[in-house]
Structure 1
Amino acid sequence: MDATTPSRPSSFLCLYVLLLATTLRFADSQSFIGVNYGQVSDNLPPPDATANLLKSTTIGKIRLYGADPAIIKALANSGISIVIGAANGDIPNLASDPNAAAQWVNANVLPYYPASKITLITVGNEVLTSGDQSLTSQLVPAIRNVQNALNSASLGGKIKVSTVHSMAVLTQSDPPSSGSFNPDLQDTLKELLSFQRDNKSPLTINPYPFFAYQSDSRPETLAFCLFQPNSGRVDSGNGKLYTNMFDAQVDAVHSALSALGYQDIEIVVAETGWPSSGDSNEVGPSVDNAKAYNGNLINHLRSLVGTPLMPGKSVDTYIFALYDEDLKPGPGSERAFGLYKTDLSVSYDVGLARSSQQVREFLYLHWSKIVE
């Protein structure tokens, strides 16, 4: 070896430095991991405390169900992307009056943007499966008026507009390749999807393996829902193997989009999660199951493996929810989806903290592979 030939240790050092830089970026944040911030509670911490909590994690996005100014302002200059929402009750006014949409944007976006990184406005939540035909017919006009208001404010290419759907918009989802939308909703969906293609906005959906398990509580189904070792399920339509319910549900949505010719539209998971407790007659809620689902989901997203029909990328995913919400109606599980307690401590650890220990473990694992 002559003097110009780099030594083996030097090569290793270069690899180590590159790995360290990559890891630090990895540990800083994952833009595809988000969280829902529901506020149906009487014991939430102050907005600044919530903002500081989020900044101490690798969470890159937050979804609000409304447009709480205190939270939006608290997240200014944090780099955290923010989804804000117009409520179902706002839709008739937004649909009928372009000025009302302009006023909504003027009140809820312009005072905060761009310091607060608002990236998406959701108009309505699960409207198409609400059974309210009047609201359904007004949904797309309301979305168009909000989009036009953004365009007028020169924000049309920077902030997207969408609406959030439950999985009930599909009448077929198993196997995933057979995914199809409810025929009764297809006229509205085609109008909506045409708008979304023109404006490059995502279809946002709420897949919950938790609810799938409640309707099929076999042990093998639980493992399939929790990303735990299982024999998997082969899609009889295309032969692809699924090892978890999340991928199966997301791909069913992709198949439904493809069936209508809109396979190019991005899918965003607006909600998914697992409760840590529930009523005695509920199947599935527990700390162990919640930790397994959310922790394994995060690891799955970080792997960037994607789904069988959409490999090599992770869909933007908002985990439900940041905190437990003690005032929510319904079964006990509805009040127990929080990743964090309202005293800002973790409900259970799913690896979201910006931790030097995580970096060390990641480096040790990959350094071991380099020197072998």
Structure 2
Amino acid sequence: MATTSNLSFLLYLTLIATSLYFADSQSFIGVNYGQVADNLPPPDATANLLKSTSIGKVRLYGADPAIIKALANSGIGITIGAANGDIPSLASDQNSATQWVNSNVLPYYPASNITLITVGNEVMTSGDNGLISQLVPAIQNVQNALNSVSLGGNIKVSSVHSMAVLTQSDPPSSGSFDPNLKNTLKQLLEFQKENKAPFTINPYPFFAYQSDPRSETLAFCLFQPNSGRVDSGNGKLYTNMFDAQVDAVHSALSGMGFEDIEIVVAETGWPTRGDNNEVGPSVENAKSYNGNLITHLRSLVGTPLMPGKSIDTYIFALYDEDLKPGAGSERAFGLYKTDLSVAYDVGLDKSSQKVNKLKSLFFY
């Protein structure tokens, strides 16, 4: 019979093993690897950086072969993208989609763990009706190309949307899609349900704060202590904007009969600096948002409407992108500097996580 001391020791070993497991790569924590810059480190250096962190997934906006090859045998999940400009040819010609898959997937898979292809970025809110009408046929043709080489069950196909696909998001239970987009969305969602593909969305509490720059809104957006907001539709309490935005998307999907489709957060983040007229960018706020977001994901608590699980979330972004147009904040979302040092520490380094976990076990 095991003694109490032996049982206690075994419990400690179990806790240590569990802690070290969670310090390793976590599939629900991803990062966007944008390349609109002229000072990025070599792909191999970036791959080594990523392997030293608990980041489990990387999203590329294209299909850069050097990066895809650098991530081979790392176990890191890779999302690759077909650009908006590729959509017309992908939609009109199955051979074009087949060639795209032959060029961007087959040379690297399975050594490079490609798990998702995104066709287009924020097409549905682009205002380009021609492009919008071609989106689902393009996605279907890419899926057909994957199916033809028996990869349809391994690699999913989706498209990334901005929160502007919703016309109603507050309270979250009232979330609904833009009626002008519903015909195309219904076709897309039927495809995604049939192929078990995720609905990918870009929620940014940063932009919500910019439109309502009060101190209580900032706390709500940064996962900081606040009184919360009660959803008047269902009485559920929200303590952060991220959950509220994601649940609004869930409500919109449910309203169209697609509540079982998985939601993936393709982008979310907070900039460290911006123009003088921008409200909210700072290192302190970026560290608070991304650090608290990661803690929230690791808690596995989920959202009020989707409890008990963590949504796959890609943080924007791995590096600052010094050539991006637009407001100053657009060039300042990086978690890491291009010399591979941290811009600010949000607890992603594997070694520091393990040390902290052990301290928490033995010095509580």
TM-score, normalising length from structure 1? 0.97
Q: 1:190 aligns with which of 186, 189, 193?
A: 186
> Unpaired runs of 5+ in structure 1?
none
Paired residue for 2:226? 230
Q: For residues 60-93 of structure 1, give each alpha carbon's deviation from its aligned partner in whole angstroms, at most 9, with x where no partner exists.
A: 0000000000000000000000000000000000
Deviation for aligned residue 1:21: 1.4
Does residue 365 (structure 1) correspond to residue 363 (structure 2)? The answer is: no
Partner amino acid for 2:210? Answer: Q
Deviation for aligned residue 1:367: 4.8
CA contact 1:19–1:363 (8 Å) conserved in 2? no
**1:1-372 aligned within 5 A:** 5-355=1-351, 357-367=352-362
CA distance in 2, matches of 1:6, 1:168: 59
Deviation for aligned residue 1:368: 6.0
CA distance in 1, matches of 2:222, 2:21: 28
Q: Tell me the secondary structure at the aligned position of residue 340 of structure 1.
A: coil
Deviation for aligned residue 1:24: 1.5
CA distance in 2, matches of 1:332, 1:364: 40
CA distance in 1, matches of 2:355, 2:72: 30
Q: Tell me the secondary structure at the aligned position of residue 33 of structure 1.
A: strand
Partner amino acid for 2:356? Answer: E
CA distance in 2, matches of 1:200, 1:274: 30
Q: Tell me the secondary structure at the aligned position of residue 26 of structure 1.
A: helix
Q: Tell me the secondary structure at the aligned position of residue 349 of structure 1.
A: coil
CA distance in 2, matches of 1:360, 1:67: 36
CA distance in 2, matches of 1:328, 1:102: 31
CA contact 1:200–1:265 (8 Å) conserved in 2? yes
Partner amino acid for 1:155? Answer: L
CA contact 2:198–2:263 (8 Å) conserved in 1? yes
CA distance in 1, matches of 2:317, 2:356: 27
Q: Tell me the secondary structure at the aligned position of residue 100 of structure 1.
A: helix
Q: For residues 79-127 of structure 1, give each alpha carbon's deviation from its aligned partner in whole angstroms, at most 9, with x where no partner exists.
A: 0000000000000000000000000000000000000000000000000
Partner amino acid for 1:216? Answer: D
CA distance in 1, matches of 2:39, 2:355: 36
CA distance in 1, matches of 2:126, 2:290: 27
> Unpaired runs of 5+ in structure 2?
none
The sequence identity of aligned pairs, in percent, is 80
Deviation for aligned residue 1:16: 1.2
Give the root-mean-square deviation of aligned CA atoms: 0.9
CA distance in 2, matches of 1:275, 1:324: 9
Q: Tell me the secondary structure at the aligned position of residue 116 of structure 1.
A: coil
Q: Tell me the secondary structure at the aligned position of residue 220 of structure 2.
A: helix
CA distance in 1, matches of 2:25, 2:138: 34
Deviation for aligned residue 1:343: 0.5
Partner amino acid for 1:93? Answer: S
CA distance in 1, matches of 2:249, 2:104: 31
Q: Tell me the secondary structure at the aligned position of residue 274 of structure 2.
A: coil
CA distance in 2, matches of 1:9, 1:222: 48
TM-score, normalising length from structure 2? 0.99
Q: For residues 226-257 of structure 1, give each alpha carbon's deviation from its aligned partner in whole angstroms, at most 9, with x where no partner exists.
A: 00000000000000000000000000000000
CA distance in 2, matches of 1:200, 1:180: 22
Deviation for aligned residue 1:18: 1.0
